[in-house]
Amino acid sequence: MTKTILITGASSGIGAGMAREFAQKGYNLAICARRLERLESLKQELESQYGIQVIAKTLDVTDYDQVFVVFKAFKAEFGTIDRIIVNAGVGDGRRIGKGNFSINRATVETNFISALAQCEAAVEIFRAQNSGHLVMISSMSAVRGMPKHLTAYAASKAGVAHLAEGIRAELLDTPIKVSTIFPGYIRTELNEGAKKLPFEVDEKTGSRLLVQAIEKQRVKAYVPQWPWLPIGMAMKILPLKWVNKLG
């Protein structure tokens, strides 16, 4: 029986990239995001190219009630959801104390509170099934506090990582798996205008490596593993002024 993966934030960037990679592997897909026209285009592309089933639905993850409605609808239509990837998020952020609280608040709400809503909806489905794989997309910036425009973003992604670990702790003795993925810099629509970033990879490469890591169902994965695994270990102990150079 073909397995089904639900991906939020699937209309562009690594969300769409992961959908393409999983489609190539033969998974059916439940894809959702705010931009339905992009999702419909992706649906047509993947169904025609790989002969899989794709269902697309509009979802703004900051509409918390709608998160539950859409996840339950996907479950009803597919029967079983085998993996849910909590990917939707924003990369906005501004320096703290510069009059941009509303932007920073929106970043934290979208990346963390919305992730909590998605986890609640996902784990509810997995508990009922007594099976499933919850995947949380965090960030290498979550390893330490980061300066400048990354401060609120990094804090929100650290929250995502701790949320995932808490859920995993509760579900240790169940068939439900929880993975936390820490991507390094992946060049996507989200950051296309930014300066060249340390050790960055392109969207296709990043998406392929993310899917490889997710398929292994490890507790944690740094993507790409080289150089981010050793960098991540170093970031935990290096002086903050050195860590700042990655921001």
Q: Where are the domains of the chain?
A: 4-246
For the chain, give the mean pLDDT: 95
Segment 8-61, tens digit of pLDDT: 999 999 999 999 999 999 999 999 999 999 999 999 999 999 999 999 999 999
* Bridge partners for 7 per DSSP: 31, 85
- From the candidate CATH numbers 3.30.70.3270, 3.90.1580.10, 3.40.50.720, 3.50.50.60, the one assigned to the domain spanning 4-246: 3.40.50.720
Segment 67-114, tens digit of pLDDT: 999 999 999 999 999 999 999 999 889 999 999 999 999 999 999 999
Out of 27, 50, 153, 185, pick the active-site residue: 153
What DSSP state is assigned to residue 44? H
Active site residue 222: no
* Bridge partners for 222 per DSSP: 182
Question: How many other CB atoms are there within 10 angstroms of residue 236's CB atom?
Answer: 9
Selection from 133, 119, 122, 116 nearest residue 214 by Cα: 133
Q: What is the pTM of this model?
A: 0.95
CB 110 within 8 A of CB 61: yes
